[in-house]
Amino acid sequence: MNKGAKKTLIKLVVAVPLMFAFGFALVPLYDVFCEVTGLNGKVFQSEHSDDLIAEQGRPLSLQFISTNNENMPWKFEPSVKVLKIETGKYYTATFSVKNTTDKKMTAQAVPSVAPSNAAAHLKKLECFCFEKQELMPGEEALLPVKLLVSNELPSNIKNVILSYTIFDITDYNDIELANNQIVME
Amino acid sequence: MSAVIENHHEDHDHGPAKGITRWLYTTNHKDIGTLYLWFSFAMFLIGGAMAMIIRAELFQPGMQIVEPEFYNQMITLHGLIMIFGGVMPAFVGLANWLVPMMIGAPDMALPRMNNLSFWILPFAFLILLSSLFMEGGAPNFGWTFYAPLSTTYAPPSVTFFIFSVHIMGASSIMGAINVVVTIMNMRAPGVGLMKMPLFVWSWLITAYLLIAVMPVLAGAVTMMLMDIHFGTSFFNAAGGGDPVLFQHIFWFFGHPEVYIMILPAFGIVSHIIETFSRKQLFGYSSMVWAMLSIAILSFVVWAHHMFTVGLPLAAEIFFMWATMLIAVPTGVKVFNWVATMFRGSLTFETPMLFAIAFVVLFTIGGLSGLMLAIVPADFQYHDTYFVVAHFHYVLVPGAIFSIMAAVYYWIPKWSGNMYDERLGKLHFWLSFVGVNVTFFPQHFIGLAGMPRRYPDYSLQFADWNMVSSVGAFLFGFSQLLFLFIVLKTVMGGKKATSQVWDGARGLEWTVASPAPYHTFSTPPKVD
C-alpha cells in the first residue's frame, strides 16, 4: 500500500470511533439543548434568586395532571386540579399518593410542561420528582412541589399545565432474591 | 475518456483458485463483487417472499393467512432484509466490480479487508433470520425499531437483532473505507477527480455518508442493548431517559441512509442514459455538485420523519424548508438526464428501459416526498399507506430498478455473454407494470387514511388493496424470470465484444469481455 493510501486509511479508521462517540454525545447534547431552550417540556431544578420575585405579577392558571404509567397500581392525584396564581410568586402544590398494593414499592415521577415554551419559565425549587419515592404497603404520602412562574413568561400564555407520570421502578429481582433468602433461612 | 491499453501477458499471471476456496479466500475485487451481488440477490428473494406473505394477508380485509404477531415480524424483517441485505450489498457489489476498473486500478486498496467485509455479512443475516425460530419470535417492532417498543416491549430475540445490526454496520463501514481509500489513492494517472465516472463519484460520496452514519446506528443499538441488559435509561422515561431521543438518533442515521441507497443509483443511471443516447452526459459537473449538496443536506433534515412527535414550530418550519431544498439538486439531476436524452439517437435496450423508468418513477416518489415534507399535510399522511407508497416508489423503481439496469448493462462485461434481449424486455415490462399496479393504489388508500403496519383494515380500503396485492404478485414472480435470465447469461449466450454497447465510454469497456481476472496491473494511459 502506498503512503497516501495509508494516510487516508488512518483518517477514516479514526473517523469511525469518533462518529460512534458522537452518537453517544448526542444524549447529553440533547439534554443540554432541551435545558437551554426549554423544549420537550423538561424542567430542571432551579436555585432561588431574588430576581425571580416580582412585585407586580400577572394572573395565570396553573393546571396539574397526573398519569399512571402502564400497570402502576398506586393512587396518584393532585390535591388541587387548578391553581390560580400570579407570576413571580412562590407556591407550593401537593400531590397525594398511596401504595395500594401489599408490597413495598419504589416509584419515580417524571414531569412535563405544556406549552413547551413555558418550561423554561417554570422554576422548581423543590420537587418530589427530583427523588425516588419509596412507600410501604398501604402507605400514603403528600408530595410537595415548590415552584414559581417567572415574570418573563410570554404574555400570550394564560394557562400552564404541569403534568407528572408516575413510573414503577421497583427492582423486582431484588425483592424476589430477598424473599428467597427469607424462605431459606 | 479514452485510453490506450498495453497488454502485458507475463508468465506469473494466474487465474482464480479452483473450488470453494476460491470464494472463501478470495481477495479479488471481481470475485468479491460477484459474491456481494449473489448474496444480495438471495436476500432480495427472501425479503420478496416476505413481501408476498404481507400482500397475501392484505389481499382481503380480515385475518386469513397469518397471525398478527407473525405479520409484524414479516414487515420488520422485510424492511431490514431489503435495506441491509438487498439494496446496500448490491451497491457494494457493483462498487467492487466497477470502481477499480473505472479508475484504472488493479484491485481495491484493501483486498483482505474486502474479503472480511463480505464474509461477515452472511452471518449477520443468519443471526437475524434465526430469530424467526426463537421463543417469542423474530423482531416485530418495524425496521425503525423505535424505543421503547424495541426495548421494554421487545421479544427476547431483540438481542440477536442488535448483534446482527452491529455486524452489518461493521461490514458496511469496512466496505466504505475500502472504496474511499481506493478512489482517493489508486486512480490511474490522468483520472482527475473531475474526470471520474459518475458512478465512482456517487460511491465516493456514499462511502463518506456510510462512514459518518453507520457508527451512529451502531451507537443507537448499543444504547438499546444497555437499556435492555445493563439497566441504563437512555430511552426509558422512568429512569430519566427519553424515547423521543431515540427517534432523533435513529433518524440522524436514517436520513443519510436514504441517500446511501439512492446516490449510487444516480451514478448508474447517468452512465446508462449517456450510453444509449450516444451523447456525452449533459452537465457532468452539476451532477457532481448536486450529489454533494444532497449528501450535505441529508444531515440537516432528519426530523421530517418525526413531525408528529411534538416538535416546536420553529423546528418544524426549519426541517420543512431544509427538506424541500433537497428538491433543487434532485431536480438538477432529473433535468440533466432528460437533457442528455434530448436529441440523442436513442435505442431502448433493457438497461435503458430500466433507466428511463427510474427517472420517471423516481421522480414520482420524489414528488410524493415533497408532499410529505409539508408539515400540516404530513400530520395527515404520517404513518399511512401514502408514506409506504412514497418510499417504495423511491426504493423499488428507484434503487432496485437501477440495480437491475446495472446488471443488464454490465453483465456482458462480467460474464462475456450477452443476455437474452427479448427476455430482458419481458422482465422489464412485467416489473414496470407490476411495480405501478402495486404501489400506485397505495397513494389512494393512504390519502383515504389507511394506517401502515396493520394486518387488517376497514372495508372501504378493500378494492385498492386487492389491486395492490395482484400487482405485488406480478412483480414478485417476475423476479424469478430475472433470476433465470441472469443464470442463462452466465452459462452461455452470444459472445460480447469488449465495448459491448456502441455508445459506451469508460475504462471498463476497454478490457476484454469477460473482464480478465486481473485488469490494469499496469495503469492505463488516460488523456
CB contacts of B175 in chain A (<8 Å) are none
pLDDT band at A123 (very low <50, low <70, confident <90, very high): confident
pLDDT (0 to 100) of residue B205: 97
What are the chain B neighbours of A44 within 8 Å (beta carbons)? Answer: none
Which three cell numbers mark B468? 395492490
Residue of B523, B526, B499 lying closest to B511 (CA atoms) = B499
Q: What's the mean pLDDT in A70-93?
A: 89
Range B19-38 average pLDDT: 94
B113 near A CB under 8 A: no
Please give the grid coordinates belonging to residue B219: 451507537
Confidence of residue B11 (pLDDT cuts 50, 70, 90): very low
Nearest Cα of chain B lies from the Cα of A55 at a distance, in angstroms, of 31
Task: Tell me the pLDDT band of A42, cut-offs 50, 70 and 90.
Answer: low
Smallest Cβ–Cβ distance between A23 and the set B110, B211, B219 belongs to B219
**Residue A40: pLDDT above 80?**
no
What value does the mean pLDDT take over residues A60-81? 90
Q: What chain A residue is nearest to B153 in terms of C-alpha separation?
A: A70
Range of the structural domain that residue B42 is part of: 27-526
Q: What is the mean pLDDT of residues A38-64?
A: 77
Report pLDDT for A56: 80
What mean pLDDT value characterizes chain A? 84
What residues are paired with A65 via a beta bridge?
A: A163
Q: How far is CA B386 from CA B74, B250, B258, B447, in A?
A: 20, 22, 17, 6
Please tell me which residue of chain A has the smallest CA distance to B187. Answer: A5
- Residues B277 and B411 sit within 8 Å (Cβ to Cβ): no
In a domain, B358, yes or no: yes
Long-range own/partner contacts, residues B450-455 (CB < 8 A, 24 or more apart): B450/B384, B450/B385, B451/B383, B451/B384, B451/B385, B452/B383, B452/B384, B452/B385, B452/B387, B452/B388, B453/B72, B453/B75, B453/B142, B453/B383, B455/B57, B455/B58, B455/B63, B455/B66, B455/B68, B455/B71, B455/B72
B268, exposed or middle or buried, with CB in 10 Å at 0-12, 13-18, 19+? Answer: buried
**With an 8 Å Cβ cutoff, are A167 and B238 in contact?**
yes
Q: Has residue B446 been placed in a domain? A: yes
Is residue B509's pLDDT more than 60?
Answer: yes
- pLDDT grade for A184, boundaries at 50, 70 and 90: very low
* ipTM, two decimals: 0.87
B420 interface with A at CB cutoff 8 Å: no
Structural domain contains residue B425: yes
Residues B255 and B348 sit within 8 Å (Cβ to Cβ): no
pLDDT at A175: 57
Mean pLDDT of B462-473: 97
Q: Is the per-residue pLDDT at A185 higher than 50?
A: no
User: Looking at the complex, does the CB of residue B242 fall below 8 Å from at least one CB of chain A?
Assistant: yes
Q: Inspect the interface and report whether the beta carbons of B211 and A4 lie closer than 8 Å.
A: no
Q: What confidence score (pLDDT) does residue A32 get? A: 84
Q: Does B374 touch chain A (CB under 8 A)?
A: no
**HSE-CB for B20 with a 13 A CA cutoff:** 0
| Within a domain: B412 | yes
DSSP state of B148: T
pLDDT, mean of residues B416-429: 97
CB crowding B328-344: b at 16 or more within 10 Å, else e: ebbebbbebbeebbeeb
Q: Would B194 be classed as within a structural domain? A: yes
Which member of B109, B234, B237 has the closest CB to residue A27?
Answer: B234
- By the CB < 8 Å criterion, does B312 face chain A? yes
Which chain B residues touch A15 with a CB distance below 8 Å? Answer: 211-212
Burial of A54 (0-12, 13-18, 19+ CB in 10 A): middle
C-alpha B13: how far from chain center: 35
The helix or strand, by DSSP H or E, that contains position B367, with its residue range, turns out to be: helix B350-373
CA pair distance B244, A26, nearest whole angstrom: 12
Residue B481, SS3?
helix
> Are A146 and A91 contacting, i.e. CB atoms less than 8 angstroms apart?
yes
Q: Taking 80 as the threshold, does the pLDDT of residue B177 lie above it?
A: yes
Interchain CB distance below 8 Å, B180 and A12: yes
Q: Residue A90's beta-bridge partner residues?
A: A148
Segment B146-170 shows an average pLDDT of 95
**Residue B4 falls within a domain, yes or no?**
no
Question: Min CA distance, A91 vs chain B (Å)?
Answer: 25
| Best to test chain B binding among A19, A43, A106 (most B CBs inside 10 Å) | A19
> Chain A contact for B249, CB < 8 A?
yes
With an 8 Å Cβ cutoff, are B248 and A167 in contact?
no
Note the pLDDT of residue B383: 96
Q: How many domains does chain B fold into?
A: 1
Pick the residue from chain A with its C-alpha nearest to B218. Answer: A20
CATH number at residue B64: 1.20.210.10
pTM as predicted: 0.90
Burial grade of B74 (CB within 10 A; 0-12, 13-18, 19 or more): buried
Place B1 in a pLDDT band, splitting at 50, 70 and 90. very low
Determine, yes or no, domain membership for B404: yes
pLDDT (0 to 100) of residue A174: 62
Burial of B142 (0-12, 13-18, 19+ CB in 10 A): middle
Please give the average per-residue pLDDT across B399-425, as a whole number: 97
B124 and chain A: CB distance < 8 Å anywhere?
no
List residues of B with catalytic annotation: 78, 107, 143, 171-172, 255, 257, 259, 270, 304-305, 330, 333, 452
Q: Which residues of A have a CB under 8 Å from any CB of B? A: 1-2, 4-5, 8-9, 12-13, 15-24, 26-27, 30, 37, 39-40, 69, 108, 110, 116-117, 165, 167-169
Residue owning grid cell 427469607: A182
* Interchain contact B195–A (C-beta under 8 A): no
Show residues of chain A in contact with B310, CB under 8 Å.
116
Cβ–Cβ contact B223 with A under 8 A: yes
CB within 8 Å: B181 and A8 = yes
Is residue B395's pLDDT more than 50?
yes
Q: Identify the H or E element spanning A85.
A: strand A82-86
The pLDDT, as a whole number, for residue A46 is 73
Can you tell me whether residue A70 is helix, strand or coil?
coil
Q: Is residue B18 part of a domain?
A: no
pLDDT for A41: 64
Q: What is the distance between the alpha carbons of residues B169 and B114, in angstroms, rounded to a whole number?
A: 14
> Do the Cβ atoms of B87 and B403 come closer than 8 Å?
yes
pLDDT at B364: 97
pLDDT digit string, tens, across residues B68-107: 999 999 999 999 999 999 999 999 999 999 999 999 999 9
| Pairs of CB atoms within 8 A across A/B | 90
* B29/B98 Cα distance (integer angstroms): 9
Burial letters B394-431, b for 16+ CB under 10 A, else e:
bbbbbbbbbbbbbbbbbbbbbbbbbbbeebbeebbebb
More confident call, B64 vs B13: B64
* Residues of chain A contacting B242 with CB distance shorter than 8 Å: 30, 40
Residue B29's alpha-carbon distances to B16, B134, B286, B341, B455, in angstroms, are 12, 37, 30, 33, 43
The Cα B326–Cα B497 span in angstroms is 40
The yes-or-no verdict on residue A2 having pLDDT over 90 is: no
Q: Supply the pLDDT for residue A180.
A: 52
Contacts of B382 (CB under 8 A, 6+ apart): B307, B308
As given in the structure block, the three cell numbers for residue B42 are 438471495
pLDDT(A43) > 90: no
When mean pLDDT is compared across A95-99, B248-252, B320-324, B467-471, the lowest value belongs to: A95-99
Q: What is the mean pLDDT of chain B?
A: 94
Share of chain B above pLDDT 90, in %: 91
